[in-house]
Amino acid sequence: MSDDISKILRRFEFVPGEVNVRVVQGDDGREKIQVRLDLGVIQLELDGRPDGTQINDCPSWLDFYRARQQEYDRENPDSAPFTLEAEDCQHLLREGIQYYQRYLSFWHLGRYELCARDTGRNLRLLAFVCEFARRPQDKLQFDQWRPYITMMHARAAAAPLVELGDVAAAIKVIEAGIGGIEAFLQQYDQSHRSDDCQELVHLRAWRDQLSEEAATRQIETDQEGQPQLAHPLTSMRGQLKAAVEAEQYEEAARLRDEIRSYGRSPLPPGPSDLLGG
């Protein structure tokens, strides 16, 4: 079999100025993400490490170093704390970039729950490095990205809730993201620059927009004065909301796919807008 990928490139055209990403069926029967660049294609696994490899029988470098840290702490309870050296941090940085490439792909594909899963994972990576890296410059190299990843995590977790009409739950998620970024600024004595933080500005604007839309919708509903009856999707919506709040994003993705396919019809409005009959 030829290793020439020219046929793939011809079938997957590169469009400048656009995010060229798609999902394909792999030879192993599993879905793969492909990102088209001007000179080639990047292929990513949907689960595990994006490159499909394992690290010393561990799912990732993060899992590997976390296991080492836990083992060290058990065996050395009275010794100096576990530390990550510069080379360790470089392994973790390269791996974090892989997850960054994948969660951006998930976002553009509308697979928001999986985007939330990977952004949550990278937030845990930042926290791990900031706790155990020996050199301050390694901590800062990672932690500088916390506002951006926090914003993307909030967007990805809130987006499916907005699609399903549960604006109150979405606002709660966005508020948590705002709080996370505000805590970051406070930690670095930069609270006075909150208006210059684009991630914070974006989340605040989205929250305010959703709040205004929810208030308008509530006024219209009150004026109608119609009774609100149960709908078959109510239970699944509640389960999806609970899965998002519990950060069970793969289960949330499954539930949203099930809701989308319900009756082979477009997504209905949120629970507060559903009328019987």
Q: What is the mean pLDDT of the chain?
A: 87
Task: Look at residue 217 and tell me if it is in a domain.
Answer: yes
Q: Using DSSP, state whether 24 is helix, strand or coil.
A: strand
**Contact between residue 47 and residue 54 where contact means Cβ atoms under 8 Å apart:** no
Range of the domain at 199: 145-221+235-245+252-263
Task: Look at residue 180 and tell me if it is in a domain.
Answer: yes
Task: Look at residue 105 and tell me if it is in a domain.
Answer: no
Report residue 194 as tokens: 């909150």
Model confidence over 243-258: pLDDT tens digits?
877 778 788 777 777 7
Q: pLDDT > 90: what percent of the chain?
A: 69
Average pLDDT of the segment spanning 155-178: 92
Task: Look at residue 27 and tell me if it is in a domain.
Answer: no
Task: Look at residue 154 and tell me if it is in a domain.
Answer: yes
Model confidence over 91-117: pLDDT tens digits?
999 999 999 999 999 999 999 999 999
Model confidence over 29-75: pLDDT tens digits?
999 999 999 999 999 999 999 999 999 999 999 999 999 999 999 99
Q: In what order do the strands lie in the sheet with 31-37?
A: 21-25, 31-37, 40-45
- What pLDDT score does 264 carry? 40
- How many residues does the structure list for the chain? 277
Query: How many helices (H) does the chain have, and how many strands (E)?
Result: 10, 3
Model confidence over 213-230: pLDDT tens digits?
887 776 555 555 444 434
Number of domains in the chain: 1
Selection from 218, 84, 205 nearest residue 151 by Cα: 205
Question: Nearest-5° angle of CA 149, CA 155, CA 160?
Answer: 140
Lowest mean pLDDT across 171-175, 193-197, 216-220: 216-220
Neighbouring C-beta atoms of residue 88, cutoff 10 Å: 19
- What pLDDT score does 214 carry? 80
Angle in degrees, 0-180, between the axes of helices 86-109 and 136-143, rounded to the nearest 10: 0
